Amino acid sequence: MMEGSITAKEKKENKLIIALSVIIPLAVAALFGIRIESLPRLGFLPPIYATINGLTAVLLVVAVVQIKKGNRELHEKFIKVAMTFSVLFLLMYVAYHASTDAVKFGDTDFDGIVSEAEKLAVGSSRYVYFFILLTHIVLSIVVIPFVLFTYVRAARGKFELHKKLAKITFPLWLYVAITGVVVYLMISPYYPN
């Protein structure tokens, strides 16, 4: 069968990927607004999931280096670990937000409100933070189908399609992983002790 032709099984996989690409962000958005009072406060999670984002970025770069060296097996292993880390990040992120009030950038007195004085104190870094956060969030949604389609193409042995998609997926996923760390570093001074 030619690499470009699509089987019935692949059509089902494509529908599943599209469904997951819609369901995951909707579920995260729905869960984001839910506070589960019975959960212990999980305020220790942000530095852990930020570290996982950083490790994901490193894994992605190492995976690309490995495939450029022709080591397909190691490339695949690094990508699988990066995918696992991304799922772990997502689970921890949802758990944190389900158990703990969101931290606001610039809230130096930790009262949950960013006053005009606090906005003035952080100045233009506030705009930089929100730009990075917004692009991080939007691209974290956009990258889901790219990651899944790219992975499935390789798993099916459709390496030319995989390679074409990977040229888009890699920079998107890398940006999301790196900006996850940057967002954490920028907001971390505003976490209450």
CATH code (residue 72): 1.20.120
- The tens digit of pLDDT for each residue in 19-57 reads 999 999 998 888 777 777 787 888 899 999 999 999 999
Residue 87 maps to a domain:
yes
What is the distance between the alpha carbons of residues 12 and 14, in angstroms, rounded to a whole number? 5
Cβ of 186: how many Cβ atoms within 10 Å?
Answer: 19
Q: Is residue 133 part of a domain?
A: yes
Answer whether residue 3 is part of any domain.
Answer: no
Q: How far apart are CA 92 and CA 39, in angstroms?
A: 13
**What is residue 113's predicted lDDT score, i.e. its pLDDT?**
92
Is 157 inside any structural domain? yes
Distance CA 89, CA 53 (A): 7
Q: What is the pLDDT of residue 97?
A: 86
Q: Could you tell me if residue 2 is inside a domain?
A: no
* % the chain with pLDDT above 70: 97
The parts of the chain modelled with pLDDT lower than 70 are 1-5
Domain that holds residue 98: 8-32+40-190
At how many degrees (to 10) do helices 125-155 and 72-99 cross?
Answer: 130
**% of the chain at pLDDT higher than 90:** 76
Asked if residue 17 belongs to a domain, the reply is: yes
Would you say residue 1 lies in a domain? no
C-alpha separations of 60 from 56, 63, 152, 162, 164 in Å: 6, 5, 17, 15, 16
Q: Is 185 contained in some domain?
A: yes
Q: pLDDT at position 6, please?
A: 75
Q: How many domains does the chain have?
A: 1
